[in-house]
Amino acid sequence: MSQSGTFLVLANPNIATKYVTNDGFAIPSVNVLNIVGLDSVTTSASGSTITVKLAGVTKNAVQYGGVDNALENTNIGVDGAILIGANNAAPVFNVPTSSDNSITITTGVNTLDFKVGVPGVITIWNEVNSNTTMAVNKGYISTNEGVQVVLTLPSTCAQGDIIEVVDNTSGGYGWRVKPNTGQTIGNANVILNAPNGYIQMEQNKGRRFNRVKFLCVTANTRWIITSSRGNNTFNEG
């Protein structure tokens, strides 16, 4: 049987004639007792065995109370996903994100690793050997020995956010930093405009270890150079 079933109750002094549950009791009628599955519970019988089990279970999902108190399944989480609730809505597995990139989130099998950046303070340094869009309050070390690395400032920043770029190559290539769309970089009387403005290491003269530091002074739109070491050149765009 499925969803509901019956079994025969024989007249015998050793067989119960009243079956008590957590919510009421049942008495066989004409030696028959019905076992009924409701909502997310099914029943089945074979030979001398009655089986009661949950229905609609999805492997690796989590069940929660849905419409009419029926059990429903969440989506299946991926590496690093956590179950997040909502007001009067179903919970969902999602991977945490950092909207301003101030937190670096690394996911793994049943693991999450958070590295928190402090506004105005560089606590995280990243080696880069290819073109990259940077994140606020992080430092970048260019390491490509064969080609210049182009680093783009992030499209969003809060006043007080900083970024620093340092060269660590044998000399001759290093880095170029340019503003994002709609942004400018100020340095004394020079304004570097997107999309063609930039500051870069002087190229192919054996220079190395050049560095530059940027400060966001107007949210999302204006950066200034607060320090620059080495022979760096500008293009206003």
**Residue 187 is part of a domain; what is its CATH number?**
2.60.120
pTM above 0.75, yes or no: no
Within-domain flag for 16: yes
**What is the reported pLDDT for 1?**
38
Distance between CA atoms of 56 and 61, rounded to whole angstroms?
A: 11
Q: Are residues 192 and 219 in the same domain?
A: yes
**What is the reported pLDDT for 118?**
67
Q: Are residues 151 and 210 in the same domain?
A: yes
Within-domain flag for 230: yes
**What is the reported pLDDT for 35?**
84
Within-domain flag for 132: yes
Distance between CA atoms of 154 and 98, rounded to whole angstroms?
A: 13
Distance between CA atoms of 232 and 226, rounded to whole angstroms?
A: 14
Q: Are residues 130 and 230 in the same domain?
A: yes
pLDDT, tens digit only, all 237 positions of the chain: 344 555 555 555 566 677 788 888 888 887 788 888 777 788 888 888 888 888 778 888 898 888 877 788 899 999 999 999 999 889 999 999 887 666 878 899 999 988 776 667 787 899 999 999 999 989 999 999 888 999 999 999 989 999 999 999 887 688 999 999 999 999 888 899 999 999 998 776 667 889 999 999 999 999 999 999 988 889 998
Q: Are residues 79 and 159 in the same domain?
A: no
Q: Are residues 23 and 71 in the same domain?
A: no
User: Which tokens is 181 given?
Assistant: 């769309």
Which domain, by its residues, includes 143? 124-235
**What is the reported pLDDT for 214?**
97
Q: How far is CA 219 from CA 1, 23, 138, 158, 236, in A?
A: 67, 62, 17, 5, 21
**What is the reported pLDDT for 17?**
74
Q: Are residues 133 and 208 in the same domain?
A: yes
User: Which tokens is 147 given?
Assistant: 């080609």
Within-domain flag for 14: yes
Within-domain flag for 152: yes
Q: Are residues 11 and 28 in the same domain?
A: yes
Number of domains in the chain: 3
**What is the reported pLDDT for 96?**
92
User: Which tokens is 75 given?
Assistant: 């989506």
Q: Are residues 136 and 221 in the same domain?
A: yes
Q: Are residues 87 and 135 in the same domain?
A: no
**What is the reported pLDDT for 2?**
42
Q: Are residues 151 and 220 in the same domain?
A: yes
Q: Are residues 77 and 163 in the same domain?
A: no
User: Do the Cβ atoms of 179 and 194 come closer than 8 Å?
Assistant: yes
Q: Are residues 134 and 194 in the same domain?
A: yes
DSSP assignment letter at 180: P
Q: Cis check for the bond before 195: say yes or no (omega within 30 of 0).
A: yes
